[in-house]
Structure 1
């Protein structure tokens, strides 16, 4: 898994840097104002999955699949619900990585 860097846009704006989605998945920070941007440059739809660690009353919490249409871009909030207590980061997987690019942003929410 690749650890994605978090980009923090200043008030003057930011030219977002995208990275190729890693075949083995990626990780990123979580929290208020953290967003995963996913660009699907492929001709097919793909699914991005945020792994949800933990259980409720002994039952596993379902992971969050997010479909990204061909040629589309999705903004996916990465709240603290996805924070793995052992790493402090969210785990992200992809059904395929062909032409998939990702970026993580954290914006002020004050």
Structure 2
């Protein structure tokens, strides 16, 4: 899995999400989790792509289902990177149903 670099976006604007996107890795990506952090998935392909975020934790001994977000063709989705997705390394593990024409980025809100 490729490690996405976290980009800080100033809350007063002046930064572009799309300028900071990179090609999604075929084997998946990881991204840091936490308050104010989010994943942007831009699907430039001709069909829908599903981004799946692993949820490694449990509640009362029961596994938590992974989060699957369907990104329609030509659309962009913003997915919160809450701590529920954090693995032992503090990063979310993200896989994709396809990576052709798929770009992604990890962001956080700054000052």
Output the TM-score relative to the length of structure 1: 0.92
In structure 2, runs of 5+ residues without a counterpart are none
Separation in structure 1 between the aligned mates of residue 93 and residue 13 of structure 2, nearest angstrom? 30
SS in 2 for 1:91: strand
User: 2:90 matched to 1:88?
Assistant: yes
In structure 1, runs of 5+ residues without a counterpart are none
**Match of residue 49 from structure 1:** 52
Encode CA deviations 1:46-74: one digit per residue, 9 max, x unaligned: 10011001112222110000000000000
Structure with greater proportional strand content: 2
Q: Check the 8 A contact 2:57/2:84 in 1, yes or no.
A: no
SS in 1 for 2:84: helix
Separation in structure 1 between the aligned mates of residue 13 and residue 80 of structure 2, nearest angstrom? 22
**Match of residue 8 from structure 1:** 8
Separation in structure 2 between the aligned mates of residue 56 and residue 37 of structure 1, nearest angstrom? 27
**Match of residue 64 from structure 1:** 67
How many residue pairs were aligned?
A: 108
RMSD over aligned Cα atoms: 1.4
1:12 Cα deviation (Å)? 4.8
Q: Check the 8 A contact 2:33/2:82 in 1, yes or no.
A: yes
Match of 2:104 among 99, 102, 105: 102
Question: Which stretch shifts more, 38-47 or 10-19?
Answer: 10-19
Evaluate the alpha carbon distance shift between residue 39 and residue 12 of structure 1 in structure 2; reply closer, same or farther with a 3 A threshold. Answer: closer
